[in-house]
Amino acid sequence: MKLEKQKSALLRIRSFFHARFTHMQTGLPLSNILLRDLGCPSPTKREWKISVTDIWNISCKFQPQLGASSVQDKWKLFQADDDVSVQDTKEAVKDYWDVVLHLKSVEEINRYPSLQLVTL
């Protein structure tokens, strides 16, 4: 391929990637708060204070019948629970939540039934 054709092809490729990047910046919902909040159930974000607000937003959007306040209260209890740690599973997030959602209280009932509907 001649040098001029190579330069022309490279300029067209560059133009294509620039147009795609610009479209992604303006066309994708990267500033959507709900999409950001959906990362809340990640085990690594359990300790974050903002996760309380995130779980409230998720609950309002997807499970309004639960009452966002009760879900938020259970989330705060979950954050303070010493029986739960990020090391509980080395597998996927789903496996982590399987462990957490099967934890029993003293009365032998599930500790976090309302979180099950929001996190899965």
- Per-residue pLDDT reduced to its tens digit, 56-66: 888 887 777 77
DSSP per-residue codes, 42-58: SGGGTT-THHHHHHHHH
The residue extents of the domains of the chain are 1-30, 32-119
- Per-residue pLDDT reduced to its tens digit, 78-99: 887 777 766 554 567 777 778 7
Residue 51 near residue 78 (C-beta atoms within 8 A): no
Model-level pTM? 0.57
